Amino acid sequence: MSALLVGGFVLAGPALPANADEPDPPDCTKVDCVALTFDDGPGEHTDRLLDILGEHDAKATFYLLGSQVDEYKDEVKRMVMDGHEIGSHSWEHADLTTLSTDEIEDDLDRTDKAINNIIDKDPVTVRPPYGALNDTVRQAVDRPIMLWDVDTLDWQHHNGDKIVDIAGKETSPGSVLLLHDIHKTTVDAVPAVLETLSEDDYEFVTIGDLFQEDLEPGTVYSDARSEYTQQPGD
Ligand code: NI
């Protein structure tokens, strides 16, 4: 058995940067943690979302589009200042499986640079648009690849009650929830999502804190229950 398969926090992996200004995150080995992730932004509702997350003392992870960040620099800076995590969602949402290795690398490099220009560090993990993956994408991405296990389908139905219902029913300890902060209905529903999941005593943490230090470059993850899913070339 590979050491990685031992579901342990004892194993060393690449360290994810911690925000020194924030209090220690909850210990996800002792309490039930979930990661809310917001894709396709930043956008016009992001600042209000940051207010809501702050009011609930909830941390989240934002999978940003490189093409959007210059227009919302203040929001991107605030994400980091507020203790949230930033991931890459590509430059402008191309299906990476339609691109060559060079094109994928150029797309992600361009995105990294735009984000790094604002926050002085690169995105920690990569979420490919549509969750679309093939061997070329897996081999071209030099960081952990983060999918999700709870899809609220918010982009499809634009219905706050449904978002809350799906989140409440499908979330379990270690879940990664997919949401989109570019939709007003989603941001409107976030207080109820937080309140519903808080009733089940979930703590809201970043991807880095949910997975501790167990993330490996090029490996695909959907939740923190299956710390090992696919290797490049599988
Ligand atoms: Ni997306």
- Cα angle value 162/163/168 (rounded, 5°): 95
| Lookup: tokens for 168 | 């409440």
Can you read off the two tokens belonging to residue 151?
């899809």
Alpha-carbon distance of 118 to 133, in angstroms, equals 28
Instruction: Quickly state the pLDDT bin for 233 (edges 50, 70, 90).
Output: very low
Sign of CA dihedral 198, 46, 110, 118: negative
**Position 228 confidence tier, pLDDT thresholds 50, 70, 90:** very low
Please give the distance, rounded to the nearest whole angstrom, from the Cα atom of residue 11 to the centre of ligand 1. Answer: 32
The stretch 127-155 carries a mean pLDDT of: 96
pLDDT of residue 107: 98
- Determine the pLDDT at residue 11: 41
Ligand 1 centre distance from Cα of residue 214 (Å): 24
Higher pLDDT, 76 or 13: 76
Distance CA 64, CA 112 (A): 10
Q: What is the pLDDT of residue 22?
A: 58
**Ligand 1 centroid from CA 6, angstroms:** 32
Residue with tokens 């709870």: 150
Q: Which of 68, 81, 8 is closest to 39 using CA atoms? A: 68
What is the reported pLDDT for 23? 72
The pLDDT value recorded for residue 86 is: 98
Q: What values do phi and psi take at 135, rounded to 5?
A: -60, -40
Is omega for the bond preceding 17 within 30 degrees of 0, making it cis? no
pLDDT tens-digit profile of 51-85? 999 999 999 999 999 999 999 999 999 999 999 99
* Model confidence at 139: pLDDT above 90: yes
Contact criterion met (CB below 8 Å) for 35 and 55: no
pLDDT digits (tens, 9 = 90+) for 166-210: 999 999 999 999 999 999 999 999 999 999 999 999 999 999 999
Distance of CA 172 to the CA centre of its chain: 16
Q: Catalytic residues, which ones? A: 39, 180
pLDDT of residue 225: 84
146 CA to centre of ligand 1 in angstroms: 12
Centre of ligand 1 to C-alpha 5, Å, is: 29
What are the pLDDT digits (tens) for 84-124?
Answer: 999 999 999 999 999 999 999 999 999 999 999 999 999 99
Q: What is the mean pLDDT of residues 155-164?
A: 96
Q: How many residues does the chain have?
A: 234
Tell me the per-residue pLDDT of 15-45, one tens digit each, with 9 for 90 and over: 444 555 557 889 998 999 999 999 999 999 9
pLDDT for 227 beyond 70: no
